[in-house]
Structure 1
């Protein structure tokens, strides 16, 4: 029978069980209880775990990774696969215990050794379904090239980026594409793939930002006898590491090791698999400016760097994209419409902080919401409209001094920008002022409204 007590004065007591691997840590990450078999996976006597910090044990490579910090961060149950110092894989479940103030007082974790014969139903049901869909997609990808639509190369910087891409495409080397969200990094990556010697192979996207850390290794390497993971699906094709700058450092190290060794081991498999992929990655930030980014991975990926400028710096591209998207959505919704010249010129002057995604959204909204076949300034969404009259800002001058007029215009511009952009950082970028200035002015004008 298992005895399990959380008394204030029992921190040195070992949980009385020989059947389960249970460890209890407090909110500071200190181990306060451990069962009799808790150290067997780590070659440590359980009494030596008591009083130790999980943060120190993680640094020493005993817990890789530690589960308590993740539970404290996410404030909920966490499940992950942990690698022990002797190379074993164990399934760890961490559960938070809250006190009367609804704060985590303890984290209880329990673990099981995972073997080839152990089937984790919750993982495999999801995995098998996803792998089935990926197999079907892979079959289609092998039969035909990916279709690239909406590529406009008019701006000088865009031409330079695509020239670099086409030059690098036939050479089987890594490429890293830099650019803000929505600048067309995935489209450029597909173009490189299509013009490479691997064009008949698959183009597999690994979204480094959206795949949960606990599942990343499983989805990348595959699991069990089927050994189907994103690496195996990308075999003899291109692996696109989308948003590599969002990947945790320990996962960066794992990818660097895999690329260096050119082989990998699916989870719970006995045989290593050869790695035959061309790697393209993307990042919103220059990787050498990220202090936490693994240097060895940086030097592996940063062979051919290509930068895509934002749309606000590519007026020539923008001038072509606006009518292209207008035609595209007109055909899609079977609505024939056109833009007035002042609307077209106004769209050219906007900043488009979310680039293609934002531009496409606004054009589609104009097509489906316009009240006539000719789209006017009145059809623009409010947040994209400034108070204008005959092409000039309309300001009431009668009986007002210049400071009052300027303040009135500033207030109107700020409120319009606030409707359009989600954060004060984006507003500051759009208006060309500092973020603290934006916060201060919004607070000032907000108080006046009250």
Structure 2
């Protein structure tokens, strides 16, 4: 209040220079000061207000209602809407000024037309919108660091894949994620959904490999009696076609038609249901390399292709994942474990054909089954010890020729590989030989048993 004089005959008043509607009354309700625009709302010259009682002005219908009596009564700031003689709405704020005896000496009131406040409100809305845009830009800048909760993105190929995913996430376009089983395709698909404009919608997984072919249409479209299908659940959200390369061609044609028309009919119904979804697919093989894959569906899905490399090609990621998973299972099973250096290096050298799924399984087994908190090579399952030390295999060297010794080692290696891998194709890939050779040798050693 420096420079705001309330004493008579003050030579300079801040109130005289302001362009705001300000009125000062004393504790008796007499107007002692008024700014030069104070009477504008009431069609009165501000000089005519000086010396007038607010009670009289209220009785005359000029102040309706007067704010000073309310401030004196409540002993605090009061805000109200006043109606002027011209039927205008004015928002008035009254503020008490106390003396040394803690009694109200003056009441200062200032007012704005409601129409002026609406302009201010529009300005604040615009300002809020600009703040939101700035906040979103800041979030985008922060995301450039590519730190993703629960994921390791150290390898160059992995970083490239997640950078592509981040660019595609806000765009409402189809994405195909390529990669072997267990490389994290579903995790990446969920991340794209969470970073998209559809993040508040559903993320519905259609497992094209496990849903029985005979039930696929029913599960996808719903029926006349039960209209809830996977498509209806995914409406306004994301439809994740997991393992799209496993879908039969005639079902691909149905899916292509639905996605093209953006509407569908439940089974046994003629009713057309709208479909608004963002489609993300995953495949273990390149779709354009499948002769039976529907071209119409390929062009609908293959807008943004992203490839996730297997763990055996991502040693940098693997070197971070192994200790992370070890800590995770140590906490889960309340058993603090660590790897001996040779075990850690051996785990880095394994092929991990099932990628994350296999790595998680093996590390949890090691934590649970190890007899000590220091995990050694002896704690590894036998199928994961090959081919580090041939001396560990049950080979009888005494009286045996080299061809016989090599045949015994080959037999044990193949039998152990058969225990570890699901198919002869995986065994062949791991051992670096052809699949027919694997089949022939397994048949040979199987007959010997």
Fold conserved between structures, TM > 0.5: yes
* Contact 1:385 1:416 (C-alpha < 8 Å) held by counterparts: no
Q: Is the partner of 1:358 in helix, strand or coil? A: helix
Residue deviations 1:95-115, cap 9 Å, x none? Answer: xxxxxxxxxxxxxxxxxxxxx
Within 5 Å, which residues of 2 pair with 1:78-157?
Answer: 150-157=150-157
Structure 1 equivalent of residue 240 of structure 2: 240
In structure 2, the residue matched to 1:411 is 411
Offset at residue 307 of structure 1 (A)? 1.0
State the SS of the aligned residue for 1:413: helix
Q: Give the match's secondary structure for 2:154.
A: coil
Q: Which residue of 2 aligns with 1:127?
A: none
Match of 1:361 in 2: 361
The Cα of 1:226 is off from its aligned counterpart by 5.3
Counterpart residue number, 1:256: 256
What are the Cα deviations for residues 273-293 of structure 1, in whole angstroms up to 9, with x where unaligned?
Answer: 111100001111111111111
Report what 2:337 is aligned to.
Answer: 337
Decide whether aligned partners of structure 1 residues 419 and 268 sit closer, same or farther in structure 2, where only a CA change above 3 A counts.
closer
Shift in CA distance, 438/328, structure 1 to aligned 2, threshold 3 Å: same
- Structure 2 counterpart SS, 1:281: strand
Residues 327-406 of structure 1 aligned to structure 2 (within 5 Å): 327-386=327-386, 402-406=402-406
1:326 lines up with 2:322 in the alignment = no
Structure 1 position 387, deviation (Å): 6.9
| Partner secondary structure for residue 280 of structure 2 | strand
TM-score (norm 1): 0.63
Equivalent position of 2:217 in the other structure: 217
Alpha-carbon distance between aligned partners in 1 of 2:305 and 2:295, rounded to the nearest angstrom:
15
CA distance in 2, matches of 1:387, 1:166: 40
Given that 1:179 and 1:308 are in contact with CA atoms closer than 8 Å, whether structure 2 keeps it comes out as yes
Structure 2: how far apart are the matches of 1:391 and 1:191?
A: 46
Would the aligned equivalents of 2:319 and 2:348 in 1 still touch at CA under 8 Å? yes
**Equivalent position of 2:272 in the other structure:** 272
What's 2:80 paired with?
none
Q: Deviations over 1:258-313 (max 9, x none)?
A: 11111111234443111110000111111111111111101111111111111111
SS of structure 2 residue aligned to 1:160: helix
Structure 1 residues 394, 161: CA separation in 2 closer, same or farther (over 3 Å shift)? farther
Q: Which residue of 2 aligns with 1:202?
A: 202
Match of 1:3 in 2: none
- Determine the C-alpha separation between the residues in 1 that align with 2:305 and 2:269: 36
Structure 1 residue runs of 5 or longer lacking an equivalent are: 1-147
Equivalent in the alignment of 2:112: none
CA distance in 2, matches of 1:193, 1:162: 13
Query: CA RMSD of the aligned region, Å?
Result: 2.3
Residue 331 of structure 1 deviates from its aligned partner by 1.1
1-structure distance, mates of 2:385, 2:177? 33
Counterpart contact for 2:208–2:244, Cα < 8 Å: yes
Shift of 1:256: 0.6
Q: How many residue pairs were aligned?
A: 302
2-structure distance, mates of 1:343, 1:264: 55
TM-score (norm 2): 0.63
- SS for the counterpart of 2:440 is helix
Look up the match of 2:439. Answer: 439
Taking the aligned partners of 1:370 and 1:429, their CA distance within structure 2 comes to: 30
Question: Are residues 329 and 437 of structure 1, via their aligned partners in 2, closer, same or farther at CA, if it must alter by over 3 Å?
Answer: same
- Greater Cα shift, 369-378 or 399-408: 399-408
> Secondary structure in 1 aligned to 2:240?
strand
Describe the superposition over 1:218-237 as per-residue Cα deviations: whole angstroms up to 9, x where unpaired: 22122235522111111111
Match of 1:227 in 2: 227
Seen in structure 2, the aligned counterparts of structure 1 residues 320 and 396 have a Cα distance that, compared at 3 Å, is farther
Structure 1 residue 380: Cα displacement: 0.8
Aligned residue for 2:220, secondary structure, equals helix
Does the CA-based 8 Å contact 1:227-1:269 persist in structure 2? Answer: no
Give, in whole Å, the separation in 1 of the partners of 2:389 and 2:155.
Answer: 31
Provide the rounded CA distance (Å) in 2 between the counterparts of 1:373 and 1:327.
12
CA distance in 1, matches of 2:214, 2:419: 37
Q: Assess, with a 3 A threshold, how the Cα gap between structure 1 residues 411 and 214 changes in structure 2: closer, same or farther.
A: closer
Contact 2:390 2:409 in 1 (8 A): no
What is the CA deviation profile of residues 172-222 of structure 1, one whole-angstrom value per residue up to 9, with x for unaligned ones?
Answer: 110011111111110010111111111111111011111122222222122
Question: Which residue of structure 1 lines up, in the alignment, with residue 424 of structure 2?
Answer: 424
**Counterpart of 2:172?**
172
Give per-residue Cα distances to partners, 1:140-199, cap 9 Å, x unaligned: xxxxxxxx8641111111111111111111111100111111111100101111111111
Structure 2 SS opposite 1:239: strand
SS at match of 1:240: strand
Q: Which residue of 1 aligns with 2:51?
A: none
Q: What displacement does 1:415 show?
A: 2.4
